[in-house]
Chains A and B, each alone.
Chain A
Amino acid sequence: KAGVTQTPRYLIKTRGQQVTLSCSPISGHRSVSWYQQTPGQGLQFLFEYFSETQRNKGNFPGRFSGRQFSNSRSEMNVSTLELGDSALYLCASSLESSGGGETQYFGPGTRLLVL
């Protein structure tokens, strides 16, 4: 099976702009989670989508949003970019049946630099 794919891999934006990142999960996986990774904060959970519904949300401002499509592909959007949004954005997918607990597999990430 193909792994998790993320596009684009690299982005450079300026403050105030917005950005949309895309994630395609492993075939058959219905859950997609997004994480932000920075040297200072480590891996921070943004949100998780399951069957097109946001099931969990981390402690990020409303500028961070996401959605999931019927084919399980997901997008996240960051509006009004700030310098502190520079980070590696990781998408992870898992089967997440009703019992939960399954492994999450990470994509290669999108590295965002805000100038």
Chain B
Amino acid sequence: QKEVEQNSGPLSVPEGAIASLNCTYSDRVSQSFFWYRQYSGKSPELIMSIYSNGDKEDGRFTAQLNKASQYVSLLIRDSQPSDSATYLCAVKWRGSTLGRLYFGRGTQLTVWP
């Protein structure tokens, strides 16, 4: 059973703070990991993809992957009210489910001014 779990929200942080979003997954034969942001009423948009252990930075966003511990996280530095959205963690596994994304339920983030 392939599962993706995210820390339950909602998460609320003040403007300028660091928001930390976490995600764990159930199967070690994983291939690639993605963070999507979804504004209310809109479709998911890609923030970051990460394939190898370690950190990957893109502007204010840093994705961290630890395959041995089966977790992936997203840090948002200098959070802005425009970052308020639901953040979805997604995992692709190797093998028969090639091409399929498994999603967590999402963490709702609110950044207050």
Contact = CB atoms under 8 A, between A and B. Distances in A.
Contacts of B94: 100
Nearest to B103: A43
Contacts of A50: 99
A6 to B, nearest CB: 9
A39 B64 CA distance: 28
Contacts of B98: 55-56, 96, 100
Given A106-B43, A107-B43, A101 B32 contact: yes
A56 B99 CA distance: 8
Interface string A88-105: 101010101000111111
A53 B105 CA distance: 29
A103 to B, nearest CB: 5
Interface residues of A, number: 26
Interface in A49-82: 50, 55-56, 58
A81 B100 CA distance: 25
Contacts of A104: 34, 90, 101
Q: Is the interface of A mostly helix, strand, loop or mixed?
A: strand
Interface string B72-92: 000000000000000010101
B82 to A, nearest CB: 19
Given A42-B105, A42-B106, A43-B88, A100 B99 contact: yes
Given A33-B100, A42-B103, A42-B106, A101 B92 contact: yes
B69 interface: no
B9 to A, nearest CB: 13
Interface of A: 31, 33, 35, 42-43, 45, 48, 50, 55-56, 58, 88, 90, 92, 94, 96, 100-109
12 contacts: A33-B101, A42-B106, A43-B103, A55-B98, A56-B97, A92-B101, A96-B98, A100-B92, A100-B98, A100-B99, A103-B32, A106-B45
